[in-house]
Amino acid sequence: VPEIREELYRKFVSLLLAGDEALVTPVPGGVQLRSLHFLAGGGMLLLDFSESLAGSFPGGTTAELEFIYFMVDNICYNFREIKKVKFLIGGNESKSLAGHIDLERPFFPDFSWLGDK
């Protein structure tokens, strides 16, 4: 049932955004998920974040990529039906988080970002 799966995705993303006090996560404080939608035909999950994501993002290419792949890799690893993730901010497409990485296209997982560094 799609509604049940989307609620499961929502809970998982909420856990990623909340982080863990014992671990460092690349999520700026105060970021909230507005909505999400799974497009089964393309295996794509749309994540719509509050405007605070772009406004409070620390900036830098590495910081943007760490946030993006933290979300994409964890979601795609845990939910095999999701093949790619697209980010929206405030219900709209955005060119970037802090001016470096193009958000107008969906992201496929790159599990090298999950490796030990």
Q: What confidence score (pLDDT) does residue 8 get?
A: 95
pLDDT bin (cut points 50, 70, 90) of residue 7 is very high
Q: What confidence score (pLDDT) does residue 46 get?
A: 96
Give me 115's structure tokens. Answer: 């490796």
Between CA 57 and CA 11 the distance in angstroms is: 22
- Tokens 């969906």 correspond to 106
Q: What is the DSSP string of 23-91?
A: S--S--TT--EEEEEEETTTTEEEEEE-THHHHH----HHHHHHHHHHHHHHHHHH-TT--EEEEEETT
Q: Which 3 state secondary structure label does DSSP give 92?
A: strand
Nearest CA-CA partner of 42 in 81, 92, 88:
81
Q: What is the pLDDT of residues 93-102, one digit of tens each?
A: 988 887 788 8
Q: Note the residue count of the chain.
A: 117
